[in-house]
Chain A
Amino acid sequence: DIQMTQSPSTLSASVGDRVTITCRASQSISSWLAWYQQKPGKAPKLLIYKASSLESGVPSRFSASGSGTEFTLTISSLQPDDFATYYCQQYNGYPWTFGQGTKVEIK
């Protein structure tokens, strides 16, 4: 199985900060990577697919890049609604696997 490792596990930041989350795959997944935001008690929400494509309706402060084994999600200016847990997911090969999550907390 492809292992997905996110860092950091927890991130403390303030409104307006630029935030970057990293996701590493244990083998190349080309660009078959998605990013999700999840809030407590809710289903995950798709932010990014195919490594860097912004899902319709997602604010442009979210961006992502990477290919192969190294990927990043960036929030250019953190807003109050962005405090949540973020997951990466590879869909290059079954079983699809997720990173362990990065919790973005209020500093």
Chain B
Amino acid sequence: QLQLVQSGAEVKMPGASVKVSCQASGYTFTNYYIHWVRQAPGQGLEWMGIINPSSGGTIYAQKFQGRVTVTRDTSTSTIYMELSSLKSEDTAVYYCARRDVVVTATIFDYWGQGTLVTVSS
């Protein structure tokens, strides 16, 4: 069935990097953009960026420019989000979500289960 399965929780030191994966199954991988959204504890949702799984092209929120890199592996239908120079404020649940490439009216119809990243010394 259709799934976006994310990697497990991570604990990182300040200044380190984290790489979260999102493996897609049950649909044609290249037909849907993948976005990353994060949510700090008790806070709202924050959009981070998007990748086109077909071309590998990316767009990032200005806030994360220079610190975030989203890549894909088409052979395994997996998207990776790497965030570097981690700070305590990056402690959050990170979600991947898909959006149809063609039917642009719609939006995030499927989400990953979320990956908790904790940044602490």
Binding site for B on A (CB under 8 A): 1, 34, 36, 43-46, 49-50, 53, 55, 87, 89, 91, 94-101
Supposing A46-B109, A49-B106, A50-B105 touch, asked if A89 and B45 sit within 8 A by C-beta, the answer is yes
Which residues of B sit under 8 angstroms from A45, Cβ to Cβ? Answer: 111
What's the least CB distance linking A54 to chain B, in Å?
11
Tell me whether chain A's interface is mostly helix, strand or loop, or mixed.
loop
What's the least CB distance linking B115 to chain A, in Å?
11
B45→A87 contact, CB < 8 A: yes
What's the least CB distance linking A45 to chain B, in Å?
8
5 pairs of residues in contact across A and B, judged by CB atoms under 8 Å = A44-B108, A49-B106, A96-B47, A98-B46, A101-B44
What's the least CB distance linking B107 to chain A, in Å?
5
Binding site for A on B (CB under 8 A): 35, 44-47, 50, 59, 61-63, 95, 97, 105-109, 111-114
A34→B108 contact, CB < 8 A: yes
A43→B109 contact, CB < 8 A: no
Which residues of A sit under 8 angstroms from B105, Cβ to Cβ? Answer: 49-50, 53
What's the least CB distance linking B38 to chain A, in Å?
11
A46→B113 contact, CB < 8 A: no
User: How far does the alpha carbon of A89 sit from the alpha carbon of B95 in the complex, in Å?
Assistant: 15
A49→B46 contact, CB < 8 A: no
Which residues of A sit under 8 angstroms from B59, Cβ to Cβ? Answer: 94
Supposing A49-B106, A50-B105, A91-B107 touch, asked if A99 and B44 sit within 8 A by C-beta, the answer is yes
Using CB atoms, name the residue of chain B closest to A6.
B44
User: How far does the alpha carbon of A105 sit from the alpha carbon of B62 in the complex, in Å?
Assistant: 35
What's the least CB distance linking A58 to chain B, in Å?
11
User: How far does the alpha carbon of A46 sit from the alpha carbon of B31 in the complex, in Å?
Assistant: 19
From A55, A87, A97, A100, contact of B109 by CB (8 A): A55
From B44, B95, B107, contact of A43 by CB (8 A): B95
Using CB atoms, name the residue of chain A closest to B96.
A43
From A34, A94, A101, contact of B61 by CB (8 A): A94
Using CB atoms, name the residue of chain B closest to A94.
B59
